[in-house]
Amino acid sequence: MANASDSDIPSVTHDLDEDEEFDDDDLDDEDDDGGEPLASSSEAARLEAVLRRLTADEVRIRVHQVTIRGCARTRRAAVEAAVGPDVSRAATVRDLVRAAAAAGDRLRCLGAFDTVSITLDAAPPGIPGSAVVVLIDVAEARGRAAGDFGVFANTQSRSCSLEGSVKLKNLFGYCETWDASGALELDKTAELSAGVQMPRIGAIPTPLMARISFVSDDWLKSSLKEHLMGVSVGLLSTINHNIAYNLTWRKLTDPTRMSSNSVQEELGHSLLSSIKYAYKVDRRDSSIRPARGYAFMSTSQVGGLAPGSKYSRFLRQEFDLRVALPLGVLNGALNAGVAAGVIHPLERGSAGSVSPLVERFNLGGNRALVCRLGGPSSLLGFKTRGLRAATESRTQDPNTPGNGTSPSPELNGLGGEVAVTAFADLSFDLPLKPLRELGIHGHAFVCAGNLGRLTECDLRKFPVTEFLQTFRSCAGWGVVVPTRLFRVEMNYCYILKQLDHDGGKTGIQLNFSSS
């Protein structure tokens, strides 16, 4: 490929990465070391110089053929869709190198191949013009199945949970991913879900995603049982953007017949149809122990679209921002984040509550602060749904004799339409070398959050001053054990501020969070 004339084009095999440069110094170093014969070094230098000159100049070429090799069970249509049309349409060497690099990245992102190699070679003899052949060699991944299973103890709620998942890759040859997961918390919650994600193939303009889930939840100290079955179908999926349609059937029951009046109004069956848009960018160097970078996520959901729904349409908006800064001492890093969410009705004059009970925000639980993005939810030191914006007394048990009153009635938490959480986490290496080699490190943290209710449809009438004055907070320290599948934390949590009806407690807390 010395020029665009009829001269032969040398074969060039290279790992085509974007923005890669060839440096003459590297070639000189090889000569000095004497590791290769002089003839081989000269030939390599000649090929590198030819390729460098061809990519720098507008040398015209024509792609005669694109050949894909190495696909045994993977369907050719899936690979061709990932390669795209830019490789075969390239008119110059520079465009071809860039298109091949982008195609290689897309093939690696499919997750179905262990290695991907792209070779640019001269066309067979007799082909007129400056024609080239593009050879794409892939090696399919050997292991198509992966899974994990664990038994976790929650010291805060004195319960035990069983969690497991299985993932199948490229089962039918379309580079698709099938996964199923389940979690069972004894006497409280059961969650099962299964889904499939398929990359863009042929005329399909976007990757396809579908998921079905079933949840049976016993709300802690709320006398409620929730049964949920949902279907989610992806409409658009890119690296940063995702649009999905969700259809959820719920059944809310009160076996004890002791729930508050507001809760009783929402018992029974409901159908929620919604469209959800999510924008996500994560530039952190790690999701288990971030040391630098930032992450941001915004989700917008329009609910109440099902015909005949007893809930009016509403908008649920959430933001989540994380920042990680290295400190340069003891491999330390400061992670800080803030998350906020609001549920606002889109219709006026609807009867009943501003938002459905099961869609409101609930704060509490022991999920790690620095791992997964997901909006306001976790608040260390507080039980699940332990932070309550508003409460109502449960009614008297009809099987209990008496005059219908209770000296200490239990409360139903009603959740909130406005939620804000914030945290700061300082991670650092422990002084013992064996622990550092395993990645075990310490951290100290402080977190705060609050819930608010919208009693009217006008968000401008929300009591901001009172909301800021009633923030709950917690501080603590602990040890973090990162693993390949999840992050384990053993923390001592000290409640700095809570209200009388909150479920916060100072003490040891053990939690597991996936990356």
Q: Give per-residue pLDDT as tens, 361-388.
A: 888 877 788 877 888 888 888 887 778 7
For residues 92 and 175, membership in a common domain is answered with: no
333-336 contacts at long range (C-beta below 8 A, 24 or more positions apart): 333/289, 333/290, 333/291, 333/292, 333/426, 333/427, 334/424, 334/425, 334/426, 335/290, 335/369, 335/370, 335/423, 335/424, 335/425, 335/426, 335/427, 336/422, 336/423, 336/424, 336/425
34 domain-assigned: no
- Higher pLDDT: 426 or 114? It is 426
Nearest to 272 by CA among 238, 245, 239, 306: 306
Which CATH number characterizes residue 92's domain?
3.10.20.310
8 domain-assigned: no
1 domain-assigned: no
For residues 168 and 99, membership in a common domain is answered with: no
For residues 102 and 167, membership in a common domain is answered with: no
How many structural domains compose the chain?
2
28 domain-assigned: no
- pLDDT value at position 213? 86
Domain termination residue (choose one: 93, 123, 140): 140
Nearest to 52 by CA among 22, 25, 29, 27: 22
The pTM of this model reads 0.70
30 domain-assigned: no
Is the pLDDT reported for residue 159 higher than 70?
no
For residues 199 and 312, membership in a common domain is answered with: yes
Q: What is the mean pLDDT of the chain?
A: 77
Domain termination residue (choose one: 140, 175, 208): 140
Coil/strand/helix, residue 50 = helix
Please give the average per-residue pLDDT across 65-80, as a whole number: 87
Domain termination residue (choose one: 140, 159, 174): 140
Domain that holds residue 366: 145-391+413-514
398 domain-assigned: no
Nearest to 355 by CA among 458, 455, 212, 444: 455
Which CATH number characterizes residue 267's domain?
2.40.160.50
Tens digits of residue pLDDT in 245-263: 988 888 888 777 766 666 6
